[in-house]
Amino acid sequence: MSRDASGLRTGQHPSRSQANIGPASVINQEPQKDTSLLRWWYRFTAPAPVSADATLQQRDLSRRGRLTSFVLLMIILLVLAAEPAAIFGPNKALIFILLIPVFIDIVALVFNKLGKLMVAGILVVIGIEVGLILSILGPALGSGGLTTYVLPQFDLFVQAEFVSVTLLDPRSVFVVTFFNIAFTVLSILYLPHTAEFAAVLAANPYDIFLRPITLAIIVAGVLFVAISSLNQTLKRADRAEVVAELERREVERQQQDISLKQQLEQGTQAILQTHVEVANGNFTARAPLTQDNVLWRISLSLNNLIARLQSSSQAEAELERAKAHTAQLVDAIRKARAGRPVQLHRTGTHLDAIIVELQTGMRQPIDNTPASTQGTHMGQSRDRREQPKL
């Protein structure tokens, strides 16, 4: 029994929460702690961090939300860095032109915090496009027309392509590219021109259109392939992480099943051994199972039942002894009435009180010695008391 009891402490019950295994369930349910340098910025402008049990879609949304927040921070800082040039430059209207995309970006941050990543991404692209378009239309319409100084600004439209392919669906880069090319062609053809620009356009129109258009197409194609591959890699990595977690959970579940099986085998053996001992008359036997065993409640009920059986057996044995001693006591009383010697001994039962009263009534001290050592007989004492005095 002691050997069985020592082996019952191994293993624990598998909890219900650990028994549920799925792609969206992991052991650690707490949100992942943010230790990045920009955690204060993400706290106010990005969606709340997801917990470790988040689905692949939730992880992707969280990652994109933090990326959108970071991109917006960079854009706002770059635009604000250009404000001193607008303030101290000749074109004062540029001050308000630069503030327009900043305002749009702030609105995008609000939507990003609310988890509306699609709206936030579209607003970021619109903010970049509006800032670049106004920086081209302003001088062209207010300062005599397009100049060769404005031509490099058409190359900056690739910024919107970078942002769109990163924050939105990668295919959206082609929509942005088509819009940028259309605006570039229409602006060069139909906006007012300075004499210098008109001369360059007339001399070599192919070169003027070639650079911004080819740059936009090449950047769009490369970004689409690169970002699409990166997204697929991230999805595969997320799936691999989930699969690894599921495999680990499966191993833990198998270990718990093995531990539970061992507990059942050991507990069953201990309970069976206890039944055998009780059946053989050993009512002091108990099932030695501890609370960490799955059969502990059964063993507790069994031990309570054995304790009651033990009390009942003891009471039954005492009753049988009392019956036997009752017959002996009746026989002794009959002998005493017939004048024959009688020996009364304590029986260890409730008959002892009757024996004491009988001995007291016969004026004989209580006999606590064994029957083999007692030589005093009640009949002889009675004969001596009845002899006449001389």
pLDDT in tens, 269-298: 888 888 788 888 787 888 887 777 777 788
Q: Of 249, 283, 316, which one is at a domain's C-terminal end?
A: 249
| pLDDT of 374 | 42
Tell me how many domains the chain contains: 2
- 145 has pLDDT over 80: yes
* Residue 33 and residue 162 in one domain: yes
Q: Is residue 269 part of a domain?
A: no
- Whether the pLDDT of residue 133 is over 60: the answer is yes
Q: What is the pLDDT of residue 47?
A: 87
Task: Specify whether 122 is located in the same domain as 30.
Answer: yes
Mean per-residue pLDDT for 368-380?
43
Domain end among 189, 215, 249:
249
Give whichever of 6-15, 55-64, 335-344 has the largest mean pLDDT: 55-64
Query: Same structural domain for residues 213 and 338?
Result: no
Residue 379 in any domain: the answer is yes
Residue 141 lies in a domain: yes
Kindly report, residue by residue over 230-239, the tens digit of the pLDDT. Answer: 888 888 887 8
Residues with Cβ within 8 Å of 157's Cβ and at least 6 positions away in sequence, in order, are 129, 132, 180, 183, 184, 212, 216
User: Residue 186: pLDDT above 90?
Assistant: yes
Q: Is residue 183 part of a domain?
A: yes
Specify the amino acid at residue 368: N
The confidence score (pLDDT) of residue 123 equals: 93
Whether residues 29 and 98 fall in one domain = yes
For 66-70, 79-83, 157-161, which range has the lowest pLDDT when averaged over its residues?
Answer: 79-83
- Both 141 and 80 in one domain: the answer is yes
C-alpha R_g of the chain: 50
Instruction: Using a pLDDT cut of 70, give the percent of the chain over it.
Output: 80
- Is the model's pLDDT at 372 over the cut of 60? no
Please indicate whether residue 317 or residue 76 has the higher confidence score (pLDDT). Answer: 76
Q: Are residues 378 and 304 in the same domain?
A: yes
Residues 226 and 349 in one domain: no
CA distances (Å), 194 to each of 93, 139, 148, 149, 359, in order? 20, 11, 9, 11, 146
Q: Contact at 8 Å (CB) between 131 and 160? A: no
Q: Answer whether residue 103 is part of any domain.
A: yes
- pLDDT over threshold 50, residue 5: no
Beta bridge partners of 25: 22
Does 177 have pLDDT greater than 50? yes
Give the residue numbers spanning the domain of 42: 2-249
Whether 276 is in a domain gets the answer: no
Q: 243 and 174 in one domain?
A: yes
| pLDDT tens figures, 213-246 | 999 999 999 999 999 998 888 888 878 877 888 8
Contact 112, 65 (CB under 8 A): yes
Cβ–Cβ < 8 Å for 52, 28: yes
Q: How confident is the model at residue 178 (pLDDT cuts 50, 70, 90)?
A: very high
Q: Over 80: is that where the pLDDT of 336 sits? A: no
Same domain, 31 and 101: yes
Q: Is the pTM of this model over 0.85?
A: no
Answer whether residue 256 is part of any domain: no
pLDDT above 90 covers a percentage of the chain that reads 18
Query: Is the model more confident about 1 or about 97?
Result: 97
175 compared with 390, residue with greater pLDDT: 175
Q: Are residues 46 and 186 in the same domain?
A: yes
Helix 195-203 / helix 205-279 crossing angle, nearest 10 deg: 80
**Among 249, 283, 306, residue at a domain's last position:** 249
Q: Does residue 195 lie within any of the structural domains?
A: yes
pLDDT at site 361? 63
Do residue 223 and residue 163 come from a single domain?
A: yes
pLDDT digits (tens, 9 = 90+) for 338-368: 777 766 777 777 777 777 777 666 654 444 4
Residues 244 and 300 in one domain: no
